[in-house]
Structure 1
């Protein structure tokens, strides 16, 4: 029996792929029996297109799934096969991550590189810590829970889970490795000179810290990638940028001023509160000077993503003309000046 599609809704077949038809063919090619129901687009993210559907087996068992496909253009370019392998490895751990089901690594079947994961319950609210519908106590508890979860990511025994076979260990040079990687993205995608970014690269290179340890880094940790049911975290999503590196990279990402509205609460939970709590739950001492470097790097990375987004727009692969805004460049230069 092949996978059959019924009751598809909001399916956009005007693009380069007919999602409904190709998804059915892909699942059939993987010997998946069942009926695809309630296929609907969950919206296009800045890096992936998401399609929700249920797979109903002959005995009536319903499995909620999500298809993640590469869009024509976006802010980042990542490898679906690596993301799939990371998720498969993490299934052997304790983190609340989706179960990876099937992979179309090169897009042969779906039309674009894609993976299918089990859908987890919960709601996503990237501004939940500033959401006035929750009490201050509830939001502060969530902020601590988010920090605890980040610490859990860094505690993952990546060697035991086999992640060393999937991801390279940059060792002490994690900072330099990431700077070189994102500088290379800039060189490929920039359409015009970017003097502020060139200045940032020079200063960051001069002050790059050495890593105290190698951990699993999420690299896009934020409430927008977390699902909640009430006050309970049900899932940590979007592992496409995950790699091995310095744990301070994630701390720099979540404490940079550009993400303050997502990770802090005015007069209740500051960036310093976050780091102090991280120290208490991990039993480690965080080098504040090294975090400052990672804050500056995170601002640089954000700007490079926007450079990539602009190229995608100019080439007709994206609908929105992302570009490094004055706010982003000002935050970057301010952070660099503190090094």
Structure 2
């Protein structure tokens, strides 16, 4: 008879804690595009409750990532000062929990995917957008060598652009089910124009309000480190200002692309190479299309319930980005 997740979790935590845990309110929350998320409280003998979240691999999604690497990144970030969740336990191969999983502290706060262009006052939304930009600069300022991240993640040196292009083209070719000439054009353009990176930093790789928790108007946590790697800081900037995501980060007439880049330059103390940033904008649009290719493959393989696929809007935007940047 197959054990339920509740039973599996009890067995796993009993082995980790050396005693039978009391687990309450185990509930699945949201329908993540890449992970299963289960929240629960761990109650100790004195009645204290620790809020936790179990992140478990789904059968399929927009992108495949490794729980062991995510766990190691979170552990390395604990002394950094970044508002990253505290990792607690790892089931790297799914021996205990059925699928590769990690358990981390459930941080307080709420997620508002569209907060920058939501219902708050303009001044408040602009202040949050500026704070998000500052948080991104803080990610890039982490001393990844001192924290030990260099032992977990590979340093691509000045070839970060080609390394990421190769990585995502490999994903594309593994999951592709139909001809996508627009994407092939983009790959050719990206390979021909790949910039050399000026420095290596910790890259979040999915930085957005949807991965930020807010409590009382302040950032309480930056979530979803599953794609984090070492690379070019312009990768994150390109992801933020790419045309497919601009409403998540920019406010028309109040916080435009140039405002964001200028503020990032001021708080990070580094210059932004506009030509290189343009490349990363095209790359980010390409990466979005590849994620949707993977989502469609997972759906057809019956590993996902949602048939993601590159829409005509995404492909048109990709070609337009190339034309505009050439």
TM-score class normalised by the smaller sequence:
over 0.9
Structure-2 residue corresponding to 1:321: 307
Match of 2:280 in 1: 294
Q: Deviations over 1:186-221 (max 9, x none)?
A: 010001121111111000000000101000000000
Task: Quote the residue 2:187 is aligned against.
Answer: 201
- TM-score normalized by the length of structure 1: 0.94
Q: Out of 74, 92, 108, which is 2:79 matched to?
A: 92
Match of 1:7 in 2: none
**Counterpart Cα distance in 2 of 1:223 and 1:67:** 21
Pairing of 1:127-276 with structure 2 (within 5 A): 127-132=114-119, 134-276=120-262
- Give the Å deviation of 1:248: 0.3
What TM-score comes out, normalization by structure 2 length? 0.97
1:261, distance to aligned residue in structure 2 (A): 1.2
In structure 1, the partner of 2:62 is: 75
* SS at 1:126 equivalent: coil
The aligned residue for residue 306 of structure 1 is 292
- CA shift for structure 1 position 73: 0.9
Deviation string for 1:285-335 (max 9, x for gaps)? 101111110000000000000000000000001111000001111111111
Could you tell me which residue of structure 1 aligns to residue 35 of structure 2? Answer: 48
Runs (5+) with no aligned partner, structure 2: none
Match of 2:107 in 1: 120
| Distance (whole Å) between structure 1 residues aligned to residue 151 and residue 193 of structure 2 | 30
Aligned with 1:322: secondary structure?
coil
CA distance in 2, matches of 1:164, 1:329: 35
For 2:98, the equivalent position in structure 1 comes to 111
Q: How many residues align?
A: 323
Give, in angstroms, the shift of residue 17 of structure 1. 7.0
Rounded to whole Å, the distance in 2 between the matches of 1:194 and 1:26 is 44
Q: CA deviation at 1:230?
A: 2.4
Deviation at 1:32, TM superposition (A): 5.1
The question of whether the paired residues in 2 share the 8 Å contact of 1:17 and 1:111 is answered with: no
Q: Equivalents in 1 of 2:129, 2:225: separation in Å?
A: 20
| 2:206 partner SS | coil
Deviations 1:103-135 (A, max 9, x none): 001111111110000010000001000111x11
